[in-house]
Amino acid sequence: MNPEWLRYFAMLAETRNFHAAAERLHITPQALSKAIAGLETNLKVKLVDRGHRVEGLTGAGEALLEETRIVLQSLENAERRIAEWRQGTPQGPVTIAGDGLWHHYLLPTLLADLIRAHPLVRPKLYEMLAADAESRVANGEVEIGLLLEAPQRQDVDWFAGMSSSYVIAGRPGPTRPWQDCQYIVPRFFRKETSESLDGWPEGKFKRRIVAEVELLETAIHLCEAGVGEAFIPELAIRERIARGSLAIIAEAPCAFADQLYVIWRKGIRPSLAMKEVLDRLRQNDPSGRDDA
């Protein structure tokens, strides 16, 4: 099957117009029509419903389109991998799935350093829950997953990366006992639970709560506004502490930390770009700072 025909077919399916597809492909409408006809002859099925214009894809056309996208992506990946090994430098897309702490507060610095070192790398970040990230990685749809818990599936490889300790943070001021703080507490409102998401042992250490939120970033903004204090991962407020908008204002009576788990599909040979990301994630602190 001619890969160019598949590329032409995918463009026609996207535009639903021979002239528009031909213009984007930099070929004539006649050449495009001939290619589609050749594809239909080769497969012995009708792919496109058309009269004077494209009316849509047939059932066979829709089925072929699904497979065509996979084939074209595989060809692009193959070309990228060969270019990487030929030139000896990471390049092209690297797909990363995650949610929350690592996605929002670890990746920006890590990827900025990566792109400065390797400008041809193109990160693609997917926002999704842990179970979805595991599934997508295992199926080969995403290359790297970032989790807060060790993976459950057996068809992925993984390692434990850096951890981020939780601290009591608020607007800069004198330090004080943790009991004197007014806490902004993260909770998952969409599920019936009395547990907070910050790991604080409520049964052992009671605290005064002034606000409850679902998003970590919301808690951080409320802290900056002076609404109260929060027990939050140091990684999420590291830059704010450095510029003075937040500070560690009390010593917690308990220790809690988030642990990074990095997963990828078992048995694959990673691209240079993917390997570069994995190597950076393996470091205890990719920013170069040592929490110890």
User: Taking a C-beta distance cutoff of 8 angstroms, is the pair 43, 64 a contact?
Assistant: yes
Q: Which segments of the chain belong to CATH 3.40.190.290? A: 164-257
b/e 55-83 (16+ beta carbons within 10 angstroms → b): eebeeebeebbeebeeeeeeeeeeebbee
Q: Tell me the residue ranges of DSSP E strands in 45-149.
A: 48-50, 54-57, 92-98, 121-127, 144-147
pLDDT, mean of residues 95-99: 92
Q: Which of 31-35, 84-88, 104-108 has the lowest mean pLDDT?
A: 84-88
How many contiguous H segments (helices) and E segments (strands) does the chain have? 10, 11
User: Taking a C-beta distance cutoff of 8 angstroms, is the pair 121, 115 a contact?
Assistant: yes
The SS3 of residue 186 is strand
User: How far, in Å, CA of 44 to CA of 38, rounded?
Assistant: 10
**Per-residue model confidence (pLDDT) at position 93:** 87
**Per-residue model confidence (pLDDT) at position 194:** 62
**Cβ–Cβ contacts within 10 Å for residue 18, how many?**
20
pLDDT, mean of residues 136-164: 93
**Per-residue model confidence (pLDDT) at position 78:** 74
Mean pLDDT for all residues in the chain: 88
**Per-residue model confidence (pLDDT) at position 261:** 96
**Per-residue model confidence (pLDDT) at position 193:** 58
**Per-residue model confidence (pLDDT) at position 284:** 54
Token look-up 């990228």 returns 80
The CATH code of domain 164-257 reads 3.40.190.290
**Per-residue model confidence (pLDDT) at position 288:** 41
Fold of 88-162+259-282: D-Maltodextrin-Binding Protein; domain 2 (3.40.190)
**Per-residue model confidence (pLDDT) at position 84:** 64
**Per-residue model confidence (pLDDT) at position 49:** 84
How does pLDDT run across 21-70, given as a tens digit for each residue? 899 989 998 999 899 999 999 999 999 887 656 678 888 988 998 888 88
- Whether 12 shows a pLDDT value over 60: the answer reads yes
Q: Which segments of the chain belong to CATH 1.10.10.10? A: 3-85
Q: Is the domain covering 3-85 a CATH 3.30.70.260 domain? A: no
How does pLDDT run across 245-266, given as a tens digit for each residue? 999 999 999 999 999 999 999 9
Q: Which segments of the chain belong to CATH 3.40.190.10? A: 88-162+259-282
- Whether 292 shows a pLDDT value over 70: the answer reads no
- Whether 1 shows a pLDDT value over 80: the answer reads no
Give the pair of three-digit tokens for residue 153.
């599936």
User: How far, in Å, CA of 57 to CA of 193, rounded?
Assistant: 48
Q: Choose among 181, 161, 193: nearest CA to 278.
A: 161
How does pLDDT run across 183-195, given as a tens digit for each residue? 999 988 766 656 7
User: Taking a C-beta distance cutoff of 8 angstroms, is the pair 251, 165 a contact?
Assistant: no
- Whether 88 shows a pLDDT value over 80: the answer reads no
